[in-house]
Amino acid sequence: MSSVCPYRNICRRASCPPNIRDCGLFSFLKATNQQKQTFRNKRDLQLISDLERNYVHAWNRHATSAGKGSAMGCCFEEWIRKILKRNGIPSQKGFVGFRFGKFQVDAAIPSCKSPCTILEIKMRVDIQSALMIRGLFDQLTNPDTKIGLVTFYDYTPKRQIMNIFSSWKRRFQKRFDCFHIENGWSTEIARIVNFCLCLSSSAN
């Protein structure tokens, strides 16, 4: 029930949904609190707290907005781009040219004009959004461009999507990878940075 929400003191939403599990803030903070019990090193806890601050701020800024879900996805995107910037990796959100025309990507490294690496950054991934990545590979104007997928929550359905991604890793070798933040905050961030660093540095 809505009355049992433990986050009312930090939430500016006027009322809770009938089922507390339908609340985005509740789901997110429940996940990060569980992560704090799993990952105890200082770097992981700093990253968790940093994303929590950004998420709660964005949630309250859009407390009455019908587009709150989209805003929270944008918050996660911005957080990843800030992480890249802190690690000396330039990135841009914007339109990148493909064979079919222009498509807006969440992060192009080092720029949208000449991306060596493209990141799609999603809170959640389902079969449909996963298959979109495959379509982008078919339409790349530069066959050497890498594409990575960054997610926060686990895949749904997990086994099918993991099988899809495993086949793409075999097919595209080092040009595709997926990064799931809940698998390990600092380790996954390090993998993302390394994936983006290789070609961004050679492009300069």
What are phi and psi for residue 176, nearest 5 degrees? -135, 140
Show the domain range for 159. 83-203
Q: Are residues 128 and 177 in the same domain?
A: yes
Q: Which of 44, 72, 100 is the last residue of a domain?
A: 72
Q: Is residue 65 part of a domain?
A: yes
pLDDT digits (tens, 9 = 90+) for 131-144: 999 999 999 999 99
Cβ–Cβ under 8 Å, residues 180 and 167: no
Q: 176-180, 182-186, 196-200 — which is least confidently predicted?
A: 196-200
Q: Are residues 105 and 130 in the same domain?
A: yes
Q: Are residues 21 and 63 in the same domain?
A: yes
Q: Are residues 161 and 183 in the same domain?
A: yes
Q: Which of 22, 44, 72 is the last residue of a domain?
A: 72
Rounded to the nearest integer, the mean pLDDT of the chain is 90
Q: Are residues 97 and 52 in the same domain?
A: no
In CATH, what number is assigned to the domain containing residue 139? 3.40.1350
Q: Are residues 63 and 99 in the same domain?
A: no
What is residue 66's predicted lDDT score, i.e. its pLDDT? 62
Cβ contacts of 109 within 8 Å, gap of 6 or more: 84, 89, 90, 91, 115, 116, 117, 118, 119, 196, 199, 200
> Where does the pLDDT of residue 3 fall: very low under 50, low under 70, confident under 90, or very high at 90 and above?
low
Q: Is residue 78 part of a domain?
A: no
Q: Which of 72, 99, 117 is the last residue of a domain?
A: 72
Cβ–Cβ under 8 Å, residues 178 and 148: yes
Q: Are residues 91 and 68 in the same domain?
A: no
Q: Are residues 95 and 59 in the same domain?
A: no
Q: Are residues 125 and 168 in the same domain?
A: yes
What is the number of other CB atoms lying within 10 angstroms of the CB of residue 126? 13
Q: Are residues 96 and 195 in the same domain?
A: yes
> Where does the pLDDT of residue 20 fall: very low under 50, low under 70, confident under 90, or very high at 90 and above?
confident
What is residue 87's predicted lDDT score, i.e. its pLDDT? 95
Q: Are residues 96 and 41 in the same domain?
A: no
Q: Are residues 9 and 109 in the same domain?
A: no
Q: Is residue 77 part of a domain?
A: no
Is the pLDDT reported for residue 14 higher than 70? Answer: yes
Give the residue from 196, 191, 187, 122 showing the smallest Cα distance to 161.
Answer: 122
The mean per-residue pLDDT over the stretch 144-154 comes to: 94
Distance CA 131, CA 129 (A): 5
Q: Is residue 172 part of a domain?
A: yes
pTM listed for this prediction: 0.91
> Where does the pLDDT of residue 67 fall: very low under 50, low under 70, confident under 90, or very high at 90 and above?
low
pLDDT digits (tens, 9 = 90+) for 71-127: 899 999 999 999 999 999 999 999 999 999 999 999 999 999 999 999 999 999 999
- For 41, the token pair is 């090193």
Number of domains the chain contains = 2
